Amino acid sequence: MCLALPVRVVELKDGDNAIVDLGGIRKEISLALVDGVAVGDYVILHVGYALTRLDPAEAERTLALFRAAGVDAATPAGGLG
């Protein structure tokens, strides 16, 4: 099963890449599919690609639901995209 996760952009890199953070885990991803992303924005991450920007309040609600369900989305089993 694949899962798309809300992650926060912490650094913009050259080209269409960025560093994102989820629970202290950081990963370089592609922003090629999303325009206008800035540091601090949340994006939906799936298999290394940002699919869309996400409202920060919605991102926090989604991450809280994961935590309430006992899922640590930042662990390798939870999968950081």
In a domain? residue 27: yes
Residue 29: the pLDDT is: 97
CATH of residue 25's domain is 2.30.30.140
Q: What is the 3-state secondary structure (H, E, C) of 15-61?
A: CCEEEEEECCEEEEEECCCCCCCCCCCEEEEECCEEEEEECHHHHHH
Greater confidence (72 vs 75) lies with: 72
Q: What percent of the chain has pLDDT over 90?
A: 63
In a domain? residue 39: yes
Residue 71: the pLDDT is: 72
Give the single-character DSSP code of 6: E
In a domain? residue 75: no
In a domain? residue 73: no
Q: Is the pLDDT of residue 77 over 60?
A: no
Residue numbers of the domain that contains 37: 5-68
